[in-house]
């Protein structure tokens, strides 16, 4: 366990903004993680648990309490056979993409489409990380957490985690801290069905086809790089939180209004990018809404914060941006989409000391 004072948080986040933490504690074991949290809670001090920093926007004033940085490690294969597949438990502090790379190498099927997503494994169940037709909820078997209210370790089966689109019972509350995540994965040489049209096109296969796991991973990484979604210190398009807004899920009536406004603004033959949702509603592409509300790729490039030049859904730091700069851009985009389509976008990253 390492402790430091007045550490700038900008260097610990992929957006590269944020003021100092009054106190930063870095923990490398699960026991130390629990002990550090208990110490702060017993002292009744403010606490921020920081994972990989890829889904958080921290205020320029910093955090006036203790930040516990999770750096735990360990991947434990509890079973792996042809009948039941692989049951694997991963420490919260393990690199998510590192785990996906190992899964592909080992022939563990179910997370290959989630390649290239930055951050740590412990953060993935919180917002039910997903991409290219896969979500972690599809393979998570259980999540072990520290319950700060009851001061004890709890184990939650996947069915009890409240997983929905980019959400879980752990999101929007600081009660639970993820200690490790267990995955139930199939054993095979081929990927799960390719569910995303652009990914299938990149692989030159039809939607629903299966391909060798390594090919699926490479294709996903290529798609993400083309959108500036694979971290690269030299590429300011990757100085972001990834997708800043979630795809809104609207009612059938609301979607009809979006279609009507689109016809009025752009013409009757312009299709709205959308998908059916299991809830009975319609999931509309936030990137489509942003772009067709007048915010194209690179919007705001004259300032320190702008939309990515590769993808309208990412708000980026062009160098020297502050959290206030990023938030101002987010508010402008959100207001523009609401005015154009009557849809209010919701931020995906966690805002620390900030409100949108």
pLDDT digits (tens, 9 = 90+) for 38-48: 999 999 999 99
Asked if 310 and 227 touch (Cβ cutoff 8 Å), the reply is: yes
- Burial environment of residue 214 by CB neighbours within 10 A (0 to 12, 13 to 18, 19 or more): middle
Q: Which residue has the tokens 């019972």?
A: 169
Enter the pTM of the model.
0.91
CATH 3.90.78.10 fits 236-352, yes or no: yes
Determine the CATH number of domain 75-226. Answer: 3.30.465.10
pLDDT of residue 8: 96
State the average pLDDT for the chain. Answer: 96
Report the alpha-carbon distance of residue 265 to residue 342 in Å, rounded. 13
Could you confirm whether 240 is annotated as catalytic?
no
Active site residue 265: no
**pLDDT given at position 23:** 97
> If you classify domain 2-70 with CATH, what class do you get?
alpha beta
Cβ–Cβ < 8 Å for 247, 139: no
- What pairing do the DSSP bridges indicate for beta strands 56-58 and 350-352? parallel
Q: Any idea where the domains of the chain sit in the sequence?
A: 2-70, 75-226, 236-352
- Answer whether 27's CB lies under 8 Å from 336's CB: no
Q: Is residue 285 among the annotated active site residues?
A: no
pLDDT single digits (tens) 168-212: 999 999 999 999 999 999 999 999 999 988 899 999 999 999 999
Distance CA 303, CA 294 (A): 17
16, 166, 224, 318: which one is catalytic? 166
Cβ atoms of 56 and 120 within 8 Å: the answer is: no
Q: List per-residue pLDDT tens for the chain, 356 residues long.
A: 899 999 999 999 999 999 999 999 999 999 999 999 999 999 999 999 999 999 999 999 999 999 999 999 999 999 988 788 999 999 999 999 999 999 999 999 999 999 999 999 999 999 999 999 999 999 999 999 999 999 999 999 999 999 998 899 999 999 999 999 999 999 999 999 999 888 999 999 999 999 999 999 999 999 999 999 999 999 999 999 999 999 999 999 999 999 999 999 999 999 999 998 888 999 999 999 999 999 999 999 889 999 999 999 999 999 999 999 999 999 999 999 999 999 999 999 999 999 99
Residue of 168, 243, 306, 308 marked active site = 243
Residue 223 contacts residue 132 (beta carbons within 8 Å) = yes
Query: From the candidates 61, 106, 215, 348, which is the catalytic residue?
Result: 348
275 HSE (CA, 13 A, CB side): 15
């Amino acid at each position: 366990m390492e402790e430091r004072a007045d550490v700038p948080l900008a260097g610990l986040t992929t957006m590269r903004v944020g003021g100092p933490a009054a106190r930063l504690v870095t923990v490398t074991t699960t026991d130390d993680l629990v002990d550090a949290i208990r110490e702060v809670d017993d002292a009744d001090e403010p606490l921020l648990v920081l994972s990989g920093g890829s889904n958080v926007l921290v205020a320029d004033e910093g955090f006036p309490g203790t930040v516990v940085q999770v750096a735990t490690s360990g991947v434990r294969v509890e079973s792996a056979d042809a009948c039941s597949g692989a049951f694997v438990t991963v420490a919260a502090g393990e690199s998510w993409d590192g785990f996906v790379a190992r899964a592909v190498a080992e022939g563990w099927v179910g997370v290959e489409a989630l390649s290239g997503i930055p951050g740590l494994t412990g953060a993935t169940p919180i917002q039910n990380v997903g991409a290219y037709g896969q979500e972690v909820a599809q393979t998570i078997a259980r999540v072990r957490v520290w319950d700060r209210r009851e001061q004890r370790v709890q184990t939650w089966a996947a069915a009890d985690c409240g997983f929905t689109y980019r959400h879980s019972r752990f999101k929007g509350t600081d009660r639970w801290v993820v200690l490790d995540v267990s995955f139930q994965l199939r054993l095979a040489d081929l990927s799960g069905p390719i569910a995303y049209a652009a990914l299938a096109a990149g692989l030159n296969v039809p939607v629903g086809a299966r391909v060798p796991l390594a090919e699926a991973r490479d294709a996903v990484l290529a798609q993400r790089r083309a959108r500036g979604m694979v971290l690269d210190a030299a590429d300011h398009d990757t100085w972001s939180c990834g997708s800043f807004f979630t795809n809104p899920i609207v009612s059938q009536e609301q979607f009809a209004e979006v279609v009507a406004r689109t016809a009025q603004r752009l013409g009757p033959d312009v299709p709205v990018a959308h998908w059916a949702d299991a809830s009975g509603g319609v999931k509309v592409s936030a990137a489509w809404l942003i772009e067709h509300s007048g915010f194209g790729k690179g919007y705001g490039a004259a300032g320190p914060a702008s939309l990515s030049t590769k993808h309208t859904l990412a708000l980026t730091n062009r160098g020297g941006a502050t959290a206030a700069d990023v938030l101002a851009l987010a508010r402008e985009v959100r207001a523009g989409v609401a005015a154009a389509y009557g849809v209010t976008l919701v931020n995906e990253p966690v805002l620390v000391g900030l409100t949108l």
